[in-house]
Amino acid sequence: MAHFARLDENNKVVQVIKTCDDDETTFAERMLAEKNEKWVQTSYNTRGGVHLDGGVPLRKNYAGITYTYDASRDAFIPSKTHQSWILNEETCLWEAPIPMPEDSDLGSWRWNEETLSWVI
């Protein structure tokens, strides 16, 4: 099985499907020829540039709706949720400018964009 992401004209992911066709070139070429659509293979087991089962990671992150495919990085990048967050070039994930505190005994942390800090 393989997963593919359909991209719009701005390289935003608009659909993700699972197909029996494991051959990226064959599937992408067929969809381009048949429907004039752009499809890029994605890996369900890849997150932050790491394959969760120890395999070879593909395109940094599993594609999700509203993710952007960046061809120069060959990566799927999630939508930016906070203006202050910075793209980690290695993982292609957004990170807070201040690391989240590791003290989980206090409760769950969330980012406060107004104060640019983590709060419980």
Residue-wise pLDDT for 12-59, tens only, equals: 999 999 887 666 667 777 777 778 889 999 999 999 999 999 999 999
Domain boundaries, the chain: 1-76, 80-120
The string of DSSP codes covering 28-85 is HHHHHHHH--EEEEE-TTEETTEETTSS---SSS---TT-EEETTTTEEEPPP-STT-
Query: What confidence score (pLDDT) does residue 21 get?
Result: 61
Of 2 and 75, the structure prediction assigns the larger pLDDT to: 75
